A and B are shown apart, each in its own frame.
Chain A
Amino acid sequence: AQSVTQLDSHVSVSEGTPVLLRCNYSSSYSPSLFWYVQHPNKGLQLLLKYTSAATLVKGINGFEAEFKKSETSFHLTKPSAHMSDAAEYFCVVSGLSGGYNKLIFGAGTRLAVHP
């Protein structure tokens, strides 16, 4: 079975400082992993995805994530936070159930960015 744990429910940073959102996963096989972002009262937008092609994945808006199999982690980073990055972020693992693919969501990390 697959599962995902986001280690922080809230993260607060100052504008211009680095962002680190932590995610650990559990999977019985090589997983596909995603980060989605949800701005207030909006739907979800894909930031980036890991599909086993490269362990360092670059996404939109300057975000990137590194897949570390030995640590079962897929942490999301950005070198310099912008006010527009304030949102909720979801780490997601793609799992199999009943022969079909499903997404399993972490509980989310709310990122606050202060001036």
Chain B
Amino acid sequence: NAGVTQTPKFQVLKTGQSMTLQCAQDMNHEYMSWYRQDPGMGLRLIHYSVGAGITDQGEVPNGYNVSRSTTEDFPLRLLSAAPSQTSVYFCASKYVSGAQYNEQFFGPGTRLTVL
């Protein structure tokens, strides 16, 4: 079991460039989510999905797009990167059944710098 995997580990972009952060899980979890982590602010939810074909916005969705075509994959797209998107990004997943009590499993993170 690889758990939750993320690629790349590090990325540097110039303002205006686009890129996709990849996330995959092999635990057959219905729920997947993306967070960003900024100093002193904990983790904030960007987008989430409760199953293939179903996505919704979180707390800070602006500038990010997601899609969920399979249970395993949940990519995060930055269409036109801005310096304010410099952050560490975490993908997480969990079972939906009994959702309130379920542990979320986190990936190792992607450290993104936008110049």
Contact = CB atoms under 8 A, between A and B. Distances in A.
Interface of A: 9, 32, 34, 36, 42-46, 49, 51, 90, 94, 96, 98, 100-103, 105-108
B89 to A, nearest CB: 11
B52 interface: no
Q: B44, B101, B109: which has the most chain A beta carbons within 10 Å? A: B101
Given A43-B90, A100-B50, A94 B44 contact: no
B85 interface: no
Contacts of B107: 43
A46 B103 contact: yes
Contacts of A90: 42-43
Contact of B56 (A51, A100, A103): A100
Contacts of A108: 40, 42
22 contacts: A9-B40, A32-B100, A36-B106, A43-B90, A43-B107, A44-B92, A44-B106, A90-B43, A94-B100, A98-B56, A100-B48, A100-B50, A100-B56, A101-B102, A102-B48, A102-B58, A103-B104, A105-B35, A105-B42, A105-B44, A107-B40, A107-B42
B48 A42 contact: no
B114 interface: no
Nearest to A6: B42
B2 interface: no
A94 B109 CA distance: 21
Interface residues of B, number: 27
Interface in B39-61: 40-45, 48, 50, 56, 58
A34 B103 contact: yes
Contacts of B45: 102-103
A32 B98 CA distance: 11
B108 to A, nearest CB: 5
Nearest to A53: B101
Given A34-B103, A103-B45, 9 more contacts: A44-B92, A90-B42, A100-B50, A100-B99, A102-B33, A102-B48, A105-B44, A106-B42, A107-B42
Contacts of A45: 106
Nearest to B45: A102
